[in-house]
Each structure stands twice: as C-alpha cells, then as structure tokens.
Structure 1
Amino acid sequence: MSPRLLVMLMIGLSSLQVAAAQKSTDAHKRPAKQAADKRASAKAPTNWLQVEMAGDDGVAALYRDQLLSWYRTSGTMDERELAALPEADYFAFRPDLTSFSIDSGPSAGQWTFAPPDQGRWPGAAVQVIDRSDAANYRILARVHCDAATESCRKLRADTASMAPPEPVTSDESASYDAWRRLIEKEACAPAPKAMPAPRYPASLARHGEGGRVELRLLVNPCGEVRAVRLSGSSGFPQLDQSAIDTAWEWRVQSERQESGAIVRVPVDFVPPQFEAAPGGRAERASR
C-alpha cells in the first residue's frame, strides 16, 4: 500500500498578468515577441549587480572549513572518522556540496564553489552578498579565482549574467518589488512543464495524517520558480517543508508567457484510506 499524493495547480494572476497571458496565446506573434524580449533583456543594464574580482587566496581553505563543519554536524561520519578529518589533505569531493551560506565575518555571503579536479580542493568560487535596503535592490558578487586563467574569465562573465537572487528585504519593500519586476521580465528558455510530487513522510502516511499545503510561488515567464511562500499550513511541519523543498524544482508551464506571475498551488497529502482485501474487494484500512 503506497500513499497517494495529489498535486493541483491554480494560477492566480493580477489583471495585467491575465491580459499578458491572453496576448501570448497568439501563435503568430509569440516567436517575434520572444525574440524582442531576448534582445531587450540583453541590452538592459544590470544596475542591481556589482561584480568585483578577488584573488583565489583562501578559497581552498574556506571550502575545506565549510565541508569539515558540514561533516561534523550532518551525522554522516562516526567519531573516529571525524577525529581524522583535521589531518586530511584531501578527501572525496561531494558534487552536491558546492554551496554554503556564511552568516557573519569577512567571508559572509552565499558561496558557490567551482568543482575541483580530483585530488584537489576547489580553486575558484563566487561570493554573493545581498546589499539591498528597503528602497534599493543591490547585489554584490565577488569572483574569487586566478584572473590570468581562461576559466576565471568565463566565471566572471557567467557571474555578470547571473539571475537576480531573491533579496532578504520584506516582501512589501520597494527593493523586493524591484526584484520581482526583474523576475517577471527575466530572459529564459521554455521547456516541458515539470512538477514532481513532494515526498510524503512515511510515518505520517502510515498513521493517516495528511492535509493541504497552500503555496504561493513567484515564477518567471517560463514558469521557473524564483520564490516560495507558505500561505497555508497543513498543520504538519514535515508536510509543509516537503512541499516547499520540492516546489523549488518545479516548472509550472511549458510555454513562455509575456510576463512572470504569482502562482498559487494547493498540494494535498492524501493518506491511504483503503487496502485490498482477499478476493480483490477493497475495505477501509484499520488504524
């Protein structure tokens, strides 16, 4: 018996966004409009982003410290293995552990490290610092790498064209509104719709505990999720978090619209109610 999970999609748009979506259904005009949007996006100044170059000194040591800290707190190693970590010159790089958030000190910011060659620590990284205030959306990106290398020049170019990250300011602030307008006109490529179902915690499903999680998402014109908000709790934090975590991976539409939108998604975690009895007859499962 496996739990059943229903995911339903309801799109809530403002009147302007509805009008934009209706216009985008004109199949003859859409290709020209997409090309114009792409050209406009390429020419638009990124006055919200400042990119600085920094040396590569300290990148390997910083990554090593962050990875060691993760191993000490993740429970993936026993005490003997943990005791040997400080003496390790190198240990297997985790491809899924390239990003760390540092909250304070001179290294504060969201760090993304470039995957290193086997047997070596990362030698390049990008540090993203949110400098937004209530009135202005501002992001500083420091590129840490050897400026003489081609890979470093590419990393800087990629950083200069980065997607605008969500600011830490209030949803009601002018800076957050400025970021949201950037997302609504973000250059992007359409792709097939993808909304994988969130994981249903087995312990809750087994005890018949379910509920509805209401999510409010900000998506770009291609339906990629750029912000997730919990607008209605199921009453079970595990279900709420499972829905939130999975929503970041969603693409809620397959065609590019003229503008991004606010998308409201109710996610129903429905516990199993029936199980097959002998002879094929379905009976209510006991709890």
Structure 2
Amino acid sequence: MSPRLLVMLMIGLSSLQVAAASKSAAADKRTAQKHAADKRVGAKAPTDWLKVELVGDADDDVARLYREQLLAWYRTSGAMDERELAALPDADYFAFRPDLTSFSIDSGESAGQWTFSPPDAGRWPGAAVQVIDRSDAQNYRILARVHCDPAAASCRKLRAETAAMSPPEPSTRDDSTSYDAWRGLIEKEACTPAPKQMPAPRYPASLARHGDGGRVELRLLVNPCGEVRAVRLSESSGYPQLDQSAITTAWGWRIQSERQESGSIVRVPVDFVPPQFETAPAGRAERASR
C-alpha cells in the first residue's frame, strides 16, 4: 500500500471516529435531557406492559360519567329508600363520596376500570384514569387513559402517577403465559415496607343476628412487602355474604411489615364466629400461611 493511500485511509478513519463520537455525544445529551424531564414530572422508566394515553376531556364529561356511576350504585346498593332514590336523578348535586372513587364499566367506549380523582369541595370530579386490560393468552398489556385538562398541573401529576402504577391483575386464565408474566412483575414489585395491617371483615348484621357463621379460606398473591395484589376464594363458608365480606376486606390487607426477597401466595382462613351478643359483628382473620 502506497504511503499516500495509507494517509488517506487514516484521515478517513479519523473522520468516521469523530462523526461517531459526535453522534454518540448528541444521543447521550438527548437521553440526559429526557431523564431530566422525566425526573421533573416524576415519571418512571417506560415499561413493555403499560401504555399511557392522555385524553383531553372537558371536566363536564368526567363529571357526567362519575354522576352516572354513582347514581347506578345508589340504585342497587340499598343505601337509600325508594323515596330518596326517586328524587336523586333530579338533584343538581349530592356529596362526593371519597369511598366511592372506583367503578368498573363493562361495555362501550367507556369500558374499563375507572378511578376518579377527588374534586374540590362542592364539585364533581374533573379528572379520572381509565384502565383497560388488553392482555391475551400470551401477552400482558395494559392501556391507561388519563382523562384530564392537559394545561392543569394536576393533570401532569396524574399522568406521572399513572405511569408509576402497580401492574393490575389481567382477566386472562391463571395458567396462561400472560398471567404468569403479571405474577412475575408482582413478585418482584418495588414497594415500601409498612406496618402489617389485617383488619377483620365486617360481619353482616343479618347473619350475626341469626347466629350464622363459618370459615372462609382465601388464597392471596402478595408483593414483597405483603400488599395484596390478587384475591381468590379457596374455600367458601357456605354463605355468599360472608365470602364477599372477607374478599372485599382482604384487598386492603398488608400481610407482613418487612420486605421479602419476592412476593408469594399465602392462605388466610377467616372465621366468622356467631357472636353471643349483637355488639360483636366482626369476623376474625387467622395468621397467614404460605
């Protein structure tokens, strides 16, 4: 190879190295800028199972949907008598209930699990998150649609919180690949240890008065901090009301206070012992076993 050709090759190689270094530096700068922006809004790293979309709904649209769901709940819950129910649809406003922020809608464009953000006093909710399960037998996929005013600071905060959401349980079969993928996420989920909390389920007054009781056995999937992420009825008490009371309460339990290496399946028996007096209407959760 001639000296002139060798010099030309060396110059060309040097130019390529400079261009590559410049391109890499620019990419690093863009990545750093993105990470800084994510940090400012509290976003977490992207996941392969969650897609977050912003839906710029007007406050009135979110408020209307919440009102419809709350009305439906009042009509079926038995919380009001017939006279109160008859007047409810015409009421301009009835108090927002902090214990009723989540509703499941089964069909239509609004299908999904909705969680409404608490509003200012005297107002209806103006923001909500709609979680849609798009998992199939093979893939675990969740779409979260954030309904809020994009210009509001509270909307940016809601988007960041949604991006950091815990993986919700899919509707696929327990033995499917997608369900296994979800369970793997839960068993390694990032979480903060907190005191153990297992309040007793409510003992339905009608059953307590008649001396009806029984044992409910639940099978729970918990994350490494003991937070419940899935509830299954392993053994029925024979009374649907007792079963449902135990299941509903179990969703709020924390089985352990320390963080483990991974989550696991635990079994918890819940005894509803007929009270001697009507002043003791509560079930009793026994120690969890793995």
Instruction: Count residues with an aligned counterpart.
Output: 233
1:267 Cα offset (Å): 2.1
3-state SS of 2:186 partner: helix
The DSSP-based 3-state class of the residue aligned with 1:106 is coil
Structure 1: gaps of 5 or more residues: 1-41, 275-287
- Report how far residue 43 of structure 1 moved: 7.5
Which of 215, 227, 232 is equivalent to 2:230?
Answer: 227
Counterpart for residue 145 of structure 2: 142
State which structure, 1 or 2, has the greater radius of gyration over its C-alpha atoms.
2
Match runs of 1:47-66 below 5 Å: 47-57=48-58, 58-66=61-69
What is the match of residue 191 of structure 1? 194
SS class of match (2:120): coil
Q: Which amino acid aligns with 1:50?
A: K
Q: Whole-Å Cα distance in 1 between the matches of residues 206 and 242 of structure 2?
A: 11
- 1:264 is matched with 267
Cα offset, 1:46, TM superposition: 1.5
- Say what the alpha-carbon RMSD is for the aligned residues: 2.1
Q: Hey, what's the Cα distance between the residues in 2 that align with 1:74 and 1:271?
A: 25
Matched, 1:217 2:199: no
Letter in 2 for 1:244: I
- Relative distance call for 1:110 and 1:273 in structure 2 (3 A) is closer
Distance 2:65 2:208 in 1: 41
Change (3 A) 1:86 1:124: same
Query: How much has 1:99 moved relative to structure 2?
Result: 1.2
**How far is the alpha carbon of 1:64 from its aligned partner?**
1.7
Does 2:193 match 1:157? no
Residue aligned with 1:162, SS: coil
Q: Partner letter of residue 108 of structure 2?
A: G
Pick the aligned partner of 1:73 from 76, 81, 91. Answer: 76
Find the partner of 2:101 among 95, 98, 103: 98
Structure with the larger RCO, 1 or 2 (CA within 8 Å, 6+ apart):
1
**251-260 or 78-87, which deviates more:** 78-87
Quick one: structure 1 residues 132 and 120, their matched pair in 2 at CA, closer, same or farther if it must change by over 3 Å?
same
Instruction: Give 2:55's aligned amino acid.
Output: A
User: What percent identity do the matched residue pairs reach?
Assistant: 85
Distance 1:175 1:270, change over 3 A: same
Task: Please report how far the alpha carbon of residue 186 of structure 1 lies from its aligned counterpart in structure 2 after TM superposition.
Answer: 0.6
TM-score by length of 2: 0.74
> 1:272/1:70 Cα in 2 relative to 1: closer, same or farther (>3 Å)?
closer
Of 238-247 and 149-158, deviating more is 238-247
Map 1:8-47 → 2, pairs under 5 A: 45-47=46-48
Provide, for residues 2-25 of structure 1, a one-character-per-residue CA deviation record: whole Å limited to 9, x for no partner: xxxxxxxxxxxxxxxxxxxxxxxx
- Secondary structure, counterpart of 1:126 in structure 2: strand
Which one has the bigger helix percentage? 2
* TM-score normalised by the chain length of structure 1: 0.75
Q: Which has the higher strand share?
A: 1
Unaligned stretches of 5+ in structure 2? 1-42, 278-290
Could you list the per-position Cα deviations for residues 164-190 of structure 1 after superposition, in whole angstroms to 9, with x for gaps in the alignment?
A: 111111111111111100000111111
Judge which range, 172-181 or 86-95, deviates more: 86-95
Tell me the amino acid that sits aligned with residue 183 of structure 1.
I
Quote how far apart the aligned CAs of 1:240 are: 1.8
